[in-house]
């Protein structure tokens, strides 16, 4: 049976686009919702242009009440009856209660080779450490930030003269290959990790 996928974004949504555009033909899943935590998220228009239902649950009115924000988030998500949730540049930390609700069916993409560099500023941190390579990871979401079983990784070289921006751009190209690859496998029931290239 075709799986329904809800995608959560905060920004431009380039990973969301790569996921949506991959779900065609014999793909075992289809997008059912693109949700942003800000009406200003650039990805919303890209989802609308692709005919995907969109929603906004702005976190700002819930300042200080994360549980109320997440209750509304869950209400809007659950109304679309997704089988899988994909965090794609969704920049809100989620509580254990929310994560537990979707445990085993929520994925995230993170711009580092986890377990290295959980959290923010991953590209700058890889450069500061003098790492010879860097990359991105898709993992199942568990309550601890940027932890959970690794479902796939893609690696890029760090080049002389790289800045956080040039390195981020090189990693993003790989994110757009890795996340659709993992989602397709995951939707078909395959959780064995994949390593690109
Ligand atoms: C991506 O690089 C993603 O890996 C990162 O945000 C960017 C979103 O770009 N996610 C995180 O840092 C999560 N901690 P996009 O909106 O163009 O997909």
Domain hosting residue 57, numbered range = 3-191
Beta-strand runs (E) in 39-78: 54-56
In a domain, 96, yes or no: yes
In a domain, 133, yes or no: yes
CATH number of the domain at 93, please. 3.40.50.170
Q: What pLDDT is recorded for position 4?
A: 98
In a domain, 180, yes or no: yes
**What pTM value is reported for the model?**
0.98
pLDDT, one tens digit per residue, over 98-151 is 999 999 999 999 999 999 999 999 999 999 999 999 999 999 999 999 999 999
In a domain, 149, yes or no: yes
Distance CA(119)–CA(110), nearest Å, equals 9
Does 110 sit in the ligand 1 pocket, CB within 6 Å?
A: yes
Number of domains in the chain: 1
Helices 164-187 and 14-22, packing angle to 10 deg: 30
Q: What pLDDT is recorded for position 64?
A: 86
CA of 161 to the centre of ligand 1 (A): 23
Does 175 sit in the ligand 1 pocket, CB within 6 Å?
A: yes
Q: Which of 110, 123, 134, 176 is catalytic?
A: 110
In a domain, 197, yes or no: no
* DSSP class of 54: E
Cis bond before residue 19 (omega within 30° of 0):
no
In a domain, 196, yes or no: no
């Amino acid at each position: 049976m075709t799986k329904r996928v809800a995608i959560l974004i905060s920004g431009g949504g380039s990973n969301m686009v790569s996921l949506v555009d991959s779900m065609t033909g014999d793909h075992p899943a289809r997008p059912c919702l693109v949700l942003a935590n800000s009406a200003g998220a650039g990805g919303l228009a890209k989802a609308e242009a692709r005919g995907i239902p969109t929603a906004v649950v702005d976190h700002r009115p819930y300042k200080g009440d994360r549980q109320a924000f997440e209750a509304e988030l869950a209400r809007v998500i659950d109304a679309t009856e997704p089988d899988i949730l994909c965090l794609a540049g969704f920049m809100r930390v989620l509580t254990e209660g929310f994560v537990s609700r979707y445990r085993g069916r929520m994925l995230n993409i993170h711009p580092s080779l986890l377990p290295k560099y959980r959290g923010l500023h991953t590209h700058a941190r890889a450069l500061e450490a003098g790492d010879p390579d860097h990359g991105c990871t898709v993992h199942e979401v568990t309550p601890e930030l940027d932890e959970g079983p690794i479902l796939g990784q893609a690696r890029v070289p760090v080049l002389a003269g790289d800045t956080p921006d040039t390195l981020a751009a090189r990693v993003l190209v790989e994110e757009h290959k890795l996340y659709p690859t993992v989602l397709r496998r995951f939707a078909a029931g395959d959780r064995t990790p994949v390593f690109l290239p």
